[in-house]
A and B are shown apart, each in its own frame.
Chain A
Amino acid sequence: DIQMTQSPSSLSASVGDRVTITCQASQDIDNFLNWYQKKPGKAPEVLIYDASTLETGVPSRFSGSGSGTDFTFTISSLQPEDIATYYCQQYDSFPRTFGQGTKVEIK
């Protein structure tokens, strides 16, 4: 199974700050990576797919990069509505696996 190691597990930042989350796969997954936003009581929403493609309707302050085993998710200017838990997920092979999640809070 492919292990997805996501860090940090939580972070606290100010409105307007740049926020970066990393995800490392235990083996090469090419660019088969999603980034999800999960708010309590709501369904996860895909923000980025194919590691760097912004889903339609998602604000451009969200971005993703990377290929192979190392990936980065960035919020260029943190907004209050971005408070959520973020997950990476590989879809290169089965079983599909998620990172442990990063809880983002406002300082």
Chain B
Amino acid sequence: EVQLVESGGGLVKPGGSLRLSCEVSGFTFSSYSMNWVRQAPGKGLEWVAYIISSSSYIYYADSVKGRFTISRDNAKNSLYLQMNSLRVEDTGVYYCSKGSTGTWGQGTLVTVSS
């Protein structure tokens, strides 16, 4: 069974940092691209970042470029999102997802507030 489990969310002050993790099982992680997607409270879905299987291609939404860094460790079946210079508008549930059409995790809540 394909499983993706996010962790690392929490409450942080504006300007602070958080590192999200997504641990996967049930598929060959090293063969798939991965994404981070978020949903602000009461809002729609917003794609955040993408990383190809080999880490050689990475893309970001303009709203997070220069502040967030996506990475992966294929040996640990894990995906990461380093979030720096956090803003109130970064508040939301962050999901990792497999490939372009695959399963999503249950999400981890990030709250940026003073």
With a cutoff of 8 Å between Cβ atoms, the chain B residues found around residue A43 in the complex are 95, 104-107
Taken together as a complex, chains A and B put the C-alpha atoms of A84 and B80 apart, in Å, by 29
- A94 contacts across to B, CB distance below 8 A: 50, 59
Which of B44, B50, B95 neighbours the largest number of chain A CB atoms within 10 Å of its CB?
B44
Closest beta carbon of chain A to B105's beta carbon, Å: 6
Closest CB in chain B relative to A94 CB, distance in Å: 4
Chain B, interface residues (CB within 8 Å), range: 20 to 34
CB-based contact A96/B50 at 8 Å: yes
Cβ contact within 8 Å between A44 and B50: no
Per-residue 0/1 for A66-98: is the Cβ within 8 Å of any B Cβ (1 yes, 0 no)?
000000000000000000000101010011111
How many chain A residues sit at the interface, stated as a range, is 20 to 34
Contact B59 A101 (CB under 8 A): no
> Is the pair B100, A44 in contact by a Cβ cutoff of 8 Å?
no
In the assembled complex, the Cα of A87 lies from the Cα of B45 at a distance in Å of: 8
- A50 part of interface (Cβ distance < 8 Å): yes
Interface residues of B in 35-52 (CB under 8 A from A): 35, 37, 44-47, 50
Question: Are B101 and A36 neighbours in the complex by a CB distance under 8 Å?
Answer: no
Would A95 and B44 be within 8 Å (CB), given that A43-B95, A46-B101, A46-B102 are in contact? no
The residues of A that contact B50 with a CB separation of less than 8 Å are 94, 96
B24 to chain A, nearest CB (A): 13
Interface CB pairs A-B, < 8 A, 27: A34-B101, A36-B45, A38-B45, A42-B106, A43-B95, A43-B104, A43-B105, A44-B45, A44-B104, A45-B104, A46-B101, A46-B103, A55-B101, A87-B44, A91-B100, A91-B101, A94-B50, A94-B59, A95-B59, A95-B60, A95-B62, A96-B35, A96-B47, A98-B45, A99-B44, A100-B44, A101-B44
The 6 residue pairs across chains A and B that have the minimum distance between CB atoms: A49-B101, A96-B47, A91-B100, A94-B59, A43-B104, A98-B45
Q: What would 15 more interface pairs be, CB under 8 Å, given A95-B47, A95-B60?
A: A42-B106, A43-B104, A43-B105, A43-B106, A44-B37, A44-B95, A45-B104, A46-B101, A94-B50, A96-B35, A96-B50, A97-B47, A99-B44, A101-B44, A101-B45
